[in-house]
Each structure stands twice: as structure tokens, then as C-alpha cells.
Structure 1
Amino acid sequence: MKTADLRIALFTGNYNYVRDGANQALNRLVGHLLAQGAQVRVYSPTVDEPAFEPTGDLVSIPSFPIPGRGEYRFPLAISPSVKRDLAKFSPNVVHVASPDLVSHRAVAWARKRELPILASVHTRFETYLRYYNMAWGEPVIEAMLRRFYRRCDALVAPSESMAQVLRDQRMNYDIGIWSRGVDREVFHPDRRSLEWRRGLGIGDNEVAIGFLGRLVMEKGLDVFSDTIDEMKRDGVPHKVLVIGEGPARSWFEGRLPDAVFAGFQTGADLGRAVAAMDVLFNPSVTETFGNVTLEAMACRVPVVAAAATGSESLVADHVSGRLIRPGAVRQFADALEAYVRDDTLRLTHGHAGEARAQAYSWDRINQSVADTYLRLIRQKQPGAS
């Protein structure tokens, strides 16, 4: 069997209605599979005005807005019409990308038909509760995730550090890596524009500390803000450049009244915005890979990040950036100050990060998922061990 023989049914809670790193990776994967001759059907909630056009055939799943986070939707069920579509498509492998109710149903549907099931892990859902004063519920969420992932034949994680977390949590015994790539046409140091920075009020000699991502509390906005407060108290000269949008923007603006908020950026504009930073500060612990970290590295921007899944697999401490204990505001401030005050350090670590980013090719990375599909299909064949 070859990649062209694959018929993949992909279930995800968000394919294109809100733009984030996970669904952009899924769309790139589908594009690669289609280019290799495979057939793919994507089953996901939809909205009238999605963030971007989907890659491939998208079948709408019944859903409703999540209370308190209305931009996201909760998949409800595999409706009769979806079941008929599945039966007509007749997949030979099922891929689930979010541990929601519909994915549970999809796993049951596939197991009944003895189809191989691959689950991709895109975020650390159990850690979200920390940002809503509900950390006591983490063991419960972890147990629910373990039950879901153990019913799949294999998992793929975006980084070795995240794969090790899944092993430690006993989520599955077959865990591989589906890393992430970076578009070097978009994310490149040549995208840096001093004119664009000036238009935002950032001087040529000012050091811009960047935040990149959706403006939601689970991205560590509180730690970011507390760290900037420390730097102000220490009298460290800097500017804050925030790239992104989200429901916590007003809170973030209130905490950082002197910051420059450039809003949502995409394509070449996003590459220009990232290259405009002098250092990226990523305090989040929820990422399984850290797309924003890789994008900054590709733009020759050193990174100060939480020593957590994702960033640990990308950033070499004291080589291409700094890895700091999660939540350690004082240490974050000291690491950022070192970059603010030392131009040579920024340049040296930026070059090291760019060299590391060159290893991430989307085609090679996505083919590894196709190869995993093929392996799981072989293992399901009669006589396979």
C-alpha cells in the first residue's frame, strides 16, 4: 500500500473557523496528503464566516458555541447524515485531532469496523484549568484523556518533550512525533522592517519584547505582564510588541498600557511582525510544540520561554534563547534584561535559532504522518503481530 491508497477520515473540533497553530498544521497535512494522491474527508464544526478557507473536503458536524468562549464550538454528535457520508467514503484509517464527544464517537465507530485509529495531540488540555483557578481538576481531566487515547492505536505529538509527557502519563504505548514546520518564505530575518516598527512608535534603537499568539489567559498573559512589571521596576528600557487577538485583549491592554498592540497578522504581514521583534517572550506551558517559538527562531529572534513541553525541544538554553522555570517571574525578567542590554548576545543567539529552524521541512514532517497511517493499516491486517 502507498500514500495514494489512503482514505483518511479526519475528525477535529476546529478545522478552520478560528485560526490557530493546530488547525493550520492539520490543513497543511491534508494538503500534503491530497498532493500525494490520498483521499481525505474532514469532519468538523463549521461557521458561516470561517477564519480561512479549508483545505480539502469539509463536512459539517452539529455543534454549539462553548459558554464563555463563544468563538470556539463544541461538537455534538455524528449525525445520521454524517454517518451516511462516512459509510459512502469508506475510510481505511481514522484520525482524531481533539478529545471531544464526536471524536469519542468516531473512535467507537472505527473500533467496531476494526479500522486503525491515529490520535494527534495538539495542546495540553489538562493544564488549562490552572488559568481558571481549577488546578484541582487536572487529575480528572488527565484520567479522561487517558481513557480516550488508550482506545486509539497510536498517538503522534508535536515534540519529543510532549511525547515524553504522554508516556509518563501512560496515555498510550505507541507514541510518535508529528513535528511542525516553518514557511521560510514567510518567516525570515529579511522580513524585518524598521519603517513598520517606526509606524508603531518603536524606535530603531529600542529593544522590542514580543508576544505572539491568541490573547487568552492560558497563554500565560499574567506571567508575561508580571515580568514586564519587574523590568519596569528595575528601570530596564524596552518596548512591548503584542501580535494577536483574542477575548483577553482588553485585560492585557489594561495590564500593559504602554505596549504596542498590532492586532492579528497573517501571511507576509505576520512574518514582518515577528521579524520586527528583538526577542520573543513565550511564558506559556500549554503548547505541545510552540509554533510561535519556531517562527521567531526562523526570523533570527532569540526566545525566552517557559521550560515546558514544546519549547524545551526547540530552544537550546544559553545557545538560541533561555528556558526558565514556568512562572518564575524574576528569572524571566533577568533573562530578558540580558538581551535588552547586550546586542551581541541577541545577535549570536538569534543566528543559532535560525540555524536550528532550518531543519523543519513541512513535506518531510507531514509524510511521517502518512507513513504512520500506512504502518497502522499493516498492523491491522490478518497475521500481523
Structure 2
Amino acid sequence: MRVVIVTESFPPDVNGVAHCALQTARHLVDRGHSPVVVAPAVPTAAGDEPDDRAPCPVVRIPSLPLPGYPQVRVALPSRRVTTAITEHRADLVHLASPFVLGARGMAAASRLGLPAVAVYQTDLAGYARTYMGAGEAAAWRRIRSVHSAADLTLAPSGAARSDLQEHGIPRVELWPRGVDTVRFRPELRNEALRRELAPNGELIVGYVGRLAPEKQVELLAGTSTLPGVRVVVVGDGPSRAGLEQAMPGAVFLGRRTGDELARIFASLDVFAHTGPFETFCQTVQEAMASGVPVVAPAVGGPLDLVAHGRTGFLVPPCDAAAVRDAVWSLAADPRLRAAYGAAGRATVEGRTWAAVGDRLIGYYTDVLAGRRTAVAA
């Protein structure tokens, strides 16, 4: 199949949309298919080639930074989207978290008579509420207009699928995310790194992700004051300065990736996620693959990932005291932490990117077959 992946974000960006789009492109190449990626342009240093490690050609669309959050790029209107789809002679258009660039990709696919698969990945309505205090209805109208035009919408979790269906999105199926169980594994636990992060032997509680208002990392402030506990924060974003002030005892490592990030994950004692707007929550899977028990809000994607009382604890969203108490109960019981961590690893061992990638190709095949049937009729 010849597939054009139109994505709102792509590496070197570090976020769930970019990572999923990259893994999708890699898997298509590995299975003998021919993808092309269309993504917003990113600023680069002189002589730097942001796509030199991409598994396939990448078409970059001129973009501007999002006001107040320059790490997020918004693509400008461009004919390159339609040109890329036409020149690649695409059989199908894959829309990764469509909103701005993805909407143009959907419009181009419709004009060209091509099937489109839209992957829902970002709770834009929740973000509108967080950043503007309003705009949820407008966000859902935008989501509905794009996804309703697609041949198929793929939701990453049961909660996300329900949200889409409740807001009138037709033809929704479940497509979760994979996790690299070779990179993220318990054996990478590093005692030298642990001594560096917690020189007095404290229990290490980690958060990994963007530092932005919607992630509500400030809910870890109470946890960071627990005796014998060291909070370690991995990531960057507009909230970092405020979080450093709110949690002076925490360690802020900034953005880390690859094998270094895997060593950090495996060296944690507890992983805590705080954001209530996760449609999936990839970092929870990476913690579980690393053999680390998880504390996460009982809403959205984590509901599918964390087995309460077996791989970690699900707590009421936006409840700092509940996060603190869950961490404290795990701190008091090393055997419970070990049991939850081992159960988490066992849970995700079959959730490889290859497995979910093959499932995606199956959806592509079904959509193409449905189009052929409709034409024949």
C-alpha cells in the first residue's frame, strides 16, 4: 500500500503524536509498504537535517509556533499537502491526531476520492477548557467535522472511543498504542543513577512528560514533601519554572530520550502520572514495561492500562492528596511495589509496536476493501 501520513507533529518533536506517527511509518516500511509523512516544519540549526533518521520521505509544511507554547508548531495553509498525496499516488491517507494540518489532509483526500483513516489522539476539548476556560463545544465541532468525513476513526482507549461516539462520531474502532519492550525493561535499573538522583536512599517517584498546564504536575507537590521520598521530573515545557518553585525538593532533569530515558524509567520505584486529559498515556505503558508500579488518574487512557490493585493504583483525577496517599502506601511496602511492577511488565509484553502495527494494516485493508465494494455496487 502507498500511504500518506499527515501528522500534526513528527520527530524531532517529542510527544505522543510524533512518536506514534514515527512508529507507524517504521512499521509500514518494515512490512513492505510505502509511506510518506507530511508534517509541520520545525526550526533547525545550520546544517541540521531533522529527517535524516526518518524511515521514509518527509514533506515539511511551513509552520509557526503556538503562542505561549513554542514547542508546538501549527502548519500554515499550503498546497504541499495535496501535492504530496498526488505525487505519492497514495492508496490511503492516514490522519494522525487531525486538527489543523490533518483537516487539510482530510479535505485533500476527499477531493481526490481517496479513503482516509483518522487517528484520534489528543483531547482538544480538554485542552480548550484548560487554556481558555471555554471552547469545548467549538473543539468538538472541529473534531466531528474531520472525523465524520473519514472512512474510519481509530480511538486509542475505551474511554476515548466512548467520548467520540457520545459526540456523534461514526465508524469508531479501537487501536491502542504499542510499547518498545526491548528498550524499556526492568534490567536497566541502575544503582549509580539512583544514588545520583536520591543520595540519601530516598524512594524515587518519577513523572515523565510535558510540563504544561494540562498535565497538572503540580499535583505532585504534596508527594514531594513526604519524608524519604524524592520526586524526579523528566520533561520540559512552559510550566517548568513554576513547578520548580512549587517543588523545590524535586529533581528536574529536563527532556531525556532513548536509552537514557529507559534507564531513568527502570531506576524509579514508583511512576506517577497526573494529567486528566490522556486519551492513552504512553508513559504509563513505558513505566509498566520497565517493571515500575504506576499511580495514575482514574480517567481516560489509564483506565485501560492500569489494573487497580494489581499493577498500581488508579486515583480520583485532580486529587493531590489521593496521589500522595497512593505513593505513601507503595513506599511502605517494597514487596507490593515488586509485585505490581512484575505484573505491569507481564501485562504489556505482548503490546509491541509490531503487533499494533499489524492491527493498523488490517484496518487499512478493511477500509480499502470497503471502498472497492462500494464502487462495484
Quickly name the TM-score band, shorter chain normalised. Answer: over 0.9
Which residue of structure 2 aligns with residue 77 of structure 1? 77
CA distance in 2: counterparts of 1:224 and 1:54, whole angstroms: 36
Structure 2 contact 219–323 (Cα < 8 Å) conserved = no
Which residue of structure 2 aligns with residue 220 of structure 1? 216
CA distance in 1: counterparts of 2:84 and 2:327, whole angstroms: 53
**Structure 2 matches for 1:320-335, cutoff 5 A?**
320-335=311-326
The alpha carbon displacement at 1:116 in A equals 0.8
- Find the residue that maps to 1:53 and give its secondary structure: coil
Structure 2 residue 177 is matched with structure 1 residue 180: yes
CA distance in 1: counterparts of 2:198 and 2:358, whole angstroms: 43
Deviations along 1:89-128, one digit per CA (max 9) or x if unpaired, are 2211111113333322221221123211100112211111
* Deviates further, 8-17 or 293-302: 8-17
The alpha carbon displacement at 1:301 in A equals 0.8
Structure 1 contact 45–75 (Cα < 8 Å) conserved = yes
CA distance in 1: counterparts of 2:58 and 2:304, whole angstroms: 33
- Find the residue that maps to 2:77 and give its secondary structure: coil
CA shift in 2, pair 1:48/1:74, >3 Å? closer
CA distance in 1: counterparts of 2:67 and 2:53, whole angstroms: 25
Which residue of structure 1 aligns with residue 149 of structure 2? 151
**The one of 239, 251, 270 aligned to 1:260:** 251
- Find the residue that maps to 1:119 and give its secondary structure: strand
* Deviates further, 216-225 or 360-369: 216-225
The alpha carbon displacement at 1:284 in A equals 0.8
**Ranges in structure 1 where 5+ consecutive residues have no aligned partner:** 1-5
Residue type matched to 1:330 in 2?
A
CA distance in 2: counterparts of 1:88 and 1:57, whole angstroms: 12
Which residue of structure 2 aligns with residue 141 of structure 1? 139
The alpha carbon displacement at 1:31 in A equals 0.9
Residue type matched to 1:78 in 2?
S
Deviations along 1:172-200, one digit per CA (max 9) or x if unpaired, are 2x222222222222211111111111123
Structure 2 contact 42–73 (Cα < 8 Å) conserved = no
Residue type matched to 1:118 in 2?
V
**The one of 283, 291, 309 aligned to 2:300:** 309
Structure 2 residue 40 is matched with structure 1 residue 40: no
The alpha carbon displacement at 1:155 in A equals 0.8
CA shift in 2, pair 1:182/1:102, >3 Å? closer
Structure 1 contact 78–102 (Cα < 8 Å) conserved = no
- Find the residue that maps to 1:305 and give its secondary structure: strand
**Ranges in structure 2 where 5+ consecutive residues have no aligned partner:** 45-49
Which residue of structure 2 aligns with residue 18 of structure 1? 13
Structure 1 contact 18–51 (Cα < 8 Å) conserved = no
Residue type matched to 1:57 in 2?
P
Structure 1 contact 244–264 (Cα < 8 Å) conserved = yes
CA distance in 1: counterparts of 2:320 and 2:157, whole angstroms: 25
Which residue of structure 2 aligns with residue 372 of structure 1? 363
Structure 1 contact 19–51 (Cα < 8 Å) conserved = no
CA distance in 2: counterparts of 1:179 and 1:158, whole angstroms: 4
CA shift in 2, pair 1:62/1:25, >3 Å? same
CA shift in 2, pair 1:268/1:17, >3 Å? closer
The alpha carbon displacement at 1:163 in A equals 1.7
Structure 2 contact 298–314 (Cα < 8 Å) conserved = yes
Structure 2 residue 279 is matched with structure 1 residue 288: yes
* Deviates further, 277-286 or 134-143: 134-143
Structure 1 contact 157–179 (Cα < 8 Å) conserved = yes
Deviations along 1:189-216, one digit per CA (max 9) or x if unpaired, are 1111111111234434x21111111211
Structure 2 residue 169 is matched with structure 1 residue 171: yes
CA distance in 1: counterparts of 2:15 and 2:343, whole angstroms: 26
Q: How many residues align?
A: 371
Which residue of structure 2 aligns with residue 337 of structure 1? 328
Which residue of structure 1 aligns with residue 127 of structure 2? 128
The alpha carbon displacement at 1:52 in A equals 7.9
CA distance in 2: counterparts of 1:354 and 1:203, whole angstroms: 28
The alpha carbon displacement at 1:82 in A equals 4.6
Query: Identity rate of aligned residues, in percent?
Result: 30
The alpha carbon displacement at 1:247 in A equals 2.4
* Deviates further, 298-307 or 263-272: 263-272
The alpha carbon displacement at 1:48 in A equals 4.2
Structure 2 contact 272–296 (Cα < 8 Å) conserved = yes
CA distance in 2: counterparts of 1:335 and 1:51, whole angstroms: 42
- Find the residue that maps to 1:136 and give its secondary structure: coil
CA distance in 1: counterparts of 2:158 and 2:200, whole angstroms: 39
Structure 1 contact 127–286 (Cα < 8 Å) conserved = yes
* Deviates further, 371-380 or 103-112: 103-112
Which residue of structure 1 aligns with residue 66 of structure 2? 66
CA shift in 2, pair 1:52/1:306, >3 Å? farther
CA distance in 2: counterparts of 1:102 and 1:189, whole angstroms: 38
CA distance in 1: counterparts of 2:179 and 2:85, whole angstroms: 33
Structure 1 contact 16–53 (Cα < 8 Å) conserved = no
Structure 1 contact 114–380 (Cα < 8 Å) conserved = no
- Find the residue that maps to 1:195 and give its secondary structure: helix
Structure 2 contact 66–72 (Cα < 8 Å) conserved = yes
